[in-house]
Amino acid sequence: MLQSLSAALAEISLPQLALMAGMALIASIIGGVAGYGTGALMPLVLVPIVGAEPVVPILSLSALLTNTGRATAFWSLVDGRRAVIVLLAAVPTCVLGAWAYTMLTGKGAALVIGAMLVATVPLRRLMRRRGLALSNRGLAAASFGWGPLAGGTVGAGIILLSLLMAAGLEGAAVVATDAVISIGIGLAKLTTFGLAGAVNATVIAIALLIGGVAFPGAFLAKRLTQRLPLHVHTAILDAVVAGGGAAMILNAFAR
């Protein structure tokens, strides 16, 4: 097994490996502060190097390590009840989304998701001003609809941030709960991709590289978040959500 993993990495040049490792560390720190980052940044490096097809399986596996580090660093802030609600509702549809991954059309999905993300921030603020929020039942229903996106796309984690914030979580609690949920979602996706034969030595080797480098980034991010006031942290989350949605739309038109 080690020989096959080493052989897979040997096919990639040292500068490319260094680029992936550097981006993984940066993305993990951003993700630890904002709750999101790997799904948006890593494809920018991975697609030119390994192609688009293995990107979702790679990130699904590497996310297990990345989010384990994040969950460990922020464990005391995890909202276990809401994490269970999201996982119970999202895992079944996530499996369907992962299974349908190769049949998805990227441009249309990116436009729809991006537009929804851009609209999420003002909608969430409007809901808060009017005293509206997602109940546990509403969170479950929204998570059921989010599942296929989580299973079949990269970057759908940004939607989960919005759902958790609309459900009443703020600041680092959003990051912590998102990490625990993402571990469960990652296991469901990885199992599905494995059964479909989409996980090979190259996928495993690159995912371990990304996850191993990114693991300590969560603890660096924790130190940053401890210095951020709640309203600043929430503003960062809003900016990431809106920016991620805009990037998806621009990327779709650029294809």
Summarised one tens digit per residue, pLDDT across range 63-73 is 888 788 778 88
Closest CA to 193 of 87, 169, 185: 185
Give backbone dihedrals phi and psi of 122, rounded to 5 degrees, phi first: -65, -35
**Percent of the chain with pLDDT strictly greater than 70:** 67
Closest CA to 30 of 159, 158, 187, 122: 158
Collapsed DSSP state (helix, strand, coil) of residue 246: helix
Tokens read off for 128: 């808060």
What is the chain's mean pLDDT, rounded?
77
What mean pLDDT do residues 205-216 have? Answer: 82
Give backbone dihedrals phi and psi of 125, rounded to 5 degrees, phi first: -70, -35
What mean pLDDT do residues 16-30 have? Answer: 83
Q: How far apart are CA 130 and CA 110, in angstroms?
A: 30
**Cβ-based burial of 97 (10 A; exposed 0-12, middle 13-18, buried ≥19):** buried
Summarised one tens digit per residue, pLDDT across range 82-138 is 999 999 999 999 998 888 765 655 555 556 556 656 766 676 666 566 665 788 999
Q: How far apart are CA 33 and CA 177, in angstroms?
A: 13
28-44 burial, b if ≥16 CB within 10 A, otherwise e? bbbbbbbbbbbbbbbbe
Range of the domain at 75: 2-254
What mean pLDDT do residues 168-172 have? Answer: 83
Collapsed DSSP state (helix, strand, coil) of residue 200: coil
Query: Can you say whether residue 217 is alpha, beta or left, with left for phi > 0 and alpha for psi between -120 and 50 degrees?
Result: alpha
What mean pLDDT do residues 44-59 have? Answer: 77
Report the number of distinct structural domains present in the chain: 1
* pLDDT band at residue 234 under the 50/70/90 scheme: low
Summarised one tens digit per residue, pLDDT across range 215-227 is 777 677 767 766 7
**Percent of the chain with pLDDT strictly greater than 90:** 15
pTM confidence score? 0.71
> Is the pLDDT assigned to residue 190 strictly greater than 60?
yes
The terminus-to-terminus CA distance of the chain in angstroms comes to: 37
> Is the pLDDT assigned to residue 139 strictly greater than 90?
yes
What is the pLDDT, as a whole number, of residue 230?
59
Helix spans in the chain (H) = 2-10, 14-34, 38-50, 55-73, 80-99, 106-129, 136-152, 157-166, 172-195, 201-214, 217-225, 230-254
Collapsed DSSP state (helix, strand, coil) of residue 77: helix
Cβ pair 189, 33 in contact under 8 A: no
Least confident of 37-41, 86-90, 153-157, 164-168: 37-41
